Amino acid sequence: MLFLGLTLGLIGKVLLGVSVILVHGKITKEKRIDGIVLMEMRREQFLAFLGVLLMIVGYALEISHFGFI
């Protein structure tokens, strides 16, 4: 049960992170937004990508700690 809970939690978090990355990507391609906002959106997109990566690494550490792999 713990493994299933950890896995489903990770899937939900990653889906949320990926949707943020995709939305930020579409907004940065919009030409009617000024440069300062675009720079901030790119920074947020990078941080969201880093967050997803850290969630996946954390998940791997958790399942190895609990002996699932």
Residue 31 confidence (pLDDT) above 80: no
Can you give the pLDDT at residue 34? 87
pLDDT in tens, 10-22: 999 999 999 999 9
Structural domain harbouring 47: 2-65
pLDDT tens sequence across 33-68: 888 988 999 999 999 999 999 999 999 999 999 998
CA dist., res. 28 & res. 10, Å (int) = 27
Contact between 23 and 64 (Cβ < 8 Å): no
Work out how many domains the chain is built from and give that number: 1
Q: Looking at the chain, how many residues does it have?
A: 69
pTM equals: 0.85
